[in-house]
Amino acid sequence: MKRFLTLLSWEISDPLRLAIFLLGVPSLTYVLEVSYLKAQWEVVSVSSTTFIPPTVPPINSVTAIHLFEYLSFSPGFWILLAFLVSVFSILAFRYDRERGYAFTVYSLPFTKGELFLAKTLSVLLASILFLYIPLLIVDLVPNADIIGVVKEITLTTRYFYLLVFATYFVLFSLSVSVTFSVLLRNMFLSFIASFFLLVLPFFADLSWPPFSFVPMLEKSLCWVSPFESGWVLRGLVVPAVLLTLSGAVFVRGDVL
């Protein structure tokens, strides 16, 4: 275990990926903040003409509506997130081969299975942080004066459903990107293929993952569950199958 944790720390501390991470998080936060302000304006416009009793629980308040809706107002955030997940996957699985030091990496006392797992976990960790850090900042910082209300909302089952749908987006994007990174030998082609497939549903107005998860974020407020069989299939089972197949190809393939 200690040996594997050392390998994982090497993957996480890769300088190029760290630089992209440090640039990506502020970029995602900015895009999400813009969407937050846009959604706030729309919610305030509606609430100004609608009577809402002051004694309603936080989950039924205008603040809750805002927190559940603004993520759906930000296609740019999700496109950028898919882009960064794809870039991280390509760099993790193809960069050492493109730069010619793959033989050195694969000569280390680690099995190919350990290498695949470490690379996948490092990309997963970065991808989850890409999602949750901007979300945490945008949810809490503008609402510092009503932090108690926001806390009550974010601790509800319905907000948990929102987080699960958002995580499905990350898992599906990661699995597709890793699959193309393993199957295609060219780093640029791997990126183009994976990113194109990820954003195609958005631009073609198709209800395909990962963008089919985005409209469900605000529907979580109405108790739409991510644990229904169809969503579990698309958000967990398909990514698990793709990663399993990618791992098998990675372990059986040659170094290059």
- Give the whole-angstrom CA distance, residue 199 versus residue 211: 8
Q: What is the pLDDT of residue 63?
A: 85
* pLDDT on residue 111: 86
Q: What pLDDT is attached to residue 47?
A: 42
Q: Return the pLDDT at 45.
A: 44
So what's the pLDDT on residue 155? 93
Output the pLDDT for position 88: 95
Q: Per residue of the chain (256 residues), give pLDDT as tens.
A: 788 888 899 889 999 999 999 999 999 999 999 989 887 766 554 444 444 455 568 888 888 888 998 998 889 999 999 999 999 999 999 887 766 555 566 667 788 899 999 999 999 999 999 999 999 999 999 888 889 989 999 999 999 999 999 999 999 999 999 999 999 988 899 999 999 999 998 999 999 999 999 999 999 999 999 999 999 999 999 999 999 999 999 988 765 5
Question: pLDDT at position 169, please?
Answer: 98
Check residue 51 and give its pLDDT: 41
What pLDDT score was predicted for residue 46? 43
- Contact between 139 and 150 under an 8 Å Cβ cutoff? The reply is yes
Q: What is the pLDDT of residue 73?
A: 84
